């Protein structure tokens, strides 16, 4: 069951102009049978790439209309910005819909707002001498104890492409592991990290540019606790279908 904040999140996502074509497509395929609906909503994670691609022309038409109406000046820049936003918003929307139909436990939450997560300052800050390092984080998935205190947390970094920013996340993961170790490197650089719980660090992509079979890119996935893809393809064990996020959150966060 969704709480008021989660219902507000769904409404906010559905109000975004670039989300309408994708959400209309998903809703048009939604079965009436409850068991079939639960399975469909779970598997929708694996078809995000398909939803984005098949909605591309409709989204571009809306962007062009906004330019014609004077809301934006550069359609190419708007389209580039929208692609990343569509990916993250679709994941949150599908996640909440899975919670709505009972595929996800009531005490597990997802958010793109770091400040919603209890103890977020301690969770998402590593001190390196007098400086700080923060994760390249797009979403946080977390669970709460009965007293509303933080139980466990997962960081999700979302990328449509692996070309630039995937390395930023796993570098923070390595820094976190150094901070939790008794190593000379930790002492040399005066690394401190004192979270109430150690977050699990994960990565998700829709692999727009078919990069995941590049050996260098595949090697990056080994640094994450788990990696997911929102594309309906065979991937082997090195990257999981995004629908596995539901089982993984239950396994990791409860």
Residue-level pLDDT at 112: 93
Written as six digits, the tokens of 94 are: 């599908």
> Quick one: 116 and 231 in the same domain?
yes
> Quick one: 182 and 233 in the same domain?
yes
Q: Are 156 and 201 in contact (CB under 8 A)?
A: no
> Quick one: 92 and 14 in the same domain?
yes
User: How far apart are the C-alpha atoms of 99 and 108, rounded to whole Å?
Assistant: 9
* Last-in-domain residue among 100, 120, 151: 100
> Quick one: 225 and 127 in the same domain?
yes
User: How far apart are the C-alpha atoms of 202 and 112, rounded to whole Å?
Assistant: 14
CA 22 from chain centre, in angstroms, equals 17
> Quick one: 61 and 39 in the same domain?
yes
> Quick one: 90 and 137 in the same domain?
no
> Quick one: 70 and 145 in the same domain?
no
Written as six digits, the tokens of 223 are: 């640094």
| DSSP structure string for 120-142 | HHHHT-EEETTEEE----SEEEE
Q: Which domain holds residue 64?
A: 4-100
User: How far apart are the C-alpha atoms of 131 and 147, rounded to whole Å?
Assistant: 33
Q: What is the mean pLDDT of each run of 10 residues along the chain (254 residues)?
A: 94 96 95 96 95 92 93 89 90 97 95 95 94 91 95 92 66 90 92 95 80 70 88 79 95 94
Angle between helices 4-15 and 20-29 (to 10 degrees): 110
Residue-level pLDDT at 39: 97
> Quick one: 151 and 208 in the same domain?
yes
Residue-level pLDDT at 210: 65
> Quick one: 113 and 238 in the same domain?
yes
> Quick one: 120 and 40 in the same domain?
no
Residue-level pLDDT at 35: 95
> Quick one: 69 and 130 in the same domain?
no
Q: Tell me whether strands 139-144 and 131-133 are parallel, antiparallel or unpaired.
A: unpaired
> Quick one: 152 and 178 in the same domain?
yes
Domain count, the chain: 2
Residue-level pLDDT at 208: 60
């Amino acid at each position: 069951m969704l709480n008021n904040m989660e219902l507000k999140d769904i409404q906010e996502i559905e109000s975004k102009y670039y989300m309408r074509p994708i959400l209309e497509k998903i809703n048009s395929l939604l079965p009436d049978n409850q068991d079939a609906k639960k399975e469909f909503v779970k598997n929708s994670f694996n078809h995000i790439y398909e939803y984005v691609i098949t909605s591309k022309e409709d989204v571009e038409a809306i962007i062009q209309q906004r330019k014609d109406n004077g809301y934006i000046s550069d359609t190419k820049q708007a389209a580039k910005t929208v692609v990343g936003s569509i990916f993250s918003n679709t994941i949150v929307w599908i996640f909440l819909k899975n919670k709505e139909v009972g595929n996800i436990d009531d005490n597990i939450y997802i958010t793109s707002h770091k400040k919603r997560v209890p103890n977020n300052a301690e969770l998402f800050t590593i001190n390196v001498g007098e400086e700080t390092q923060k994760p390249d984080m797009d979403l946080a998935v977390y669970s709460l104890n009965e007293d509303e205190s933080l139980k466990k947390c997962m960081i999700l970094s979302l990328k449509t492409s692996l070309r630039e920013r995937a390395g930023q996340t796993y570098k923070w993961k390595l820094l976190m592991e150094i901070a939790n170790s008794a190593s000379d490197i930790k002492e040399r650089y005066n690394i401190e990290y004192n979270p109430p719980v150690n977050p699990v660090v994960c990565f998700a992509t829709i692999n727009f540019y078919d990069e995941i079979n590049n050996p260098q890119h595949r090697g990056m996935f080994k640094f994450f606790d788990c990696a997911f893809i929102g594309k309906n393809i065979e991937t082997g064990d090195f990257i999981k279908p995004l629908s596995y996020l539901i089982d993984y959150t239950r396994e990791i966060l409860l």
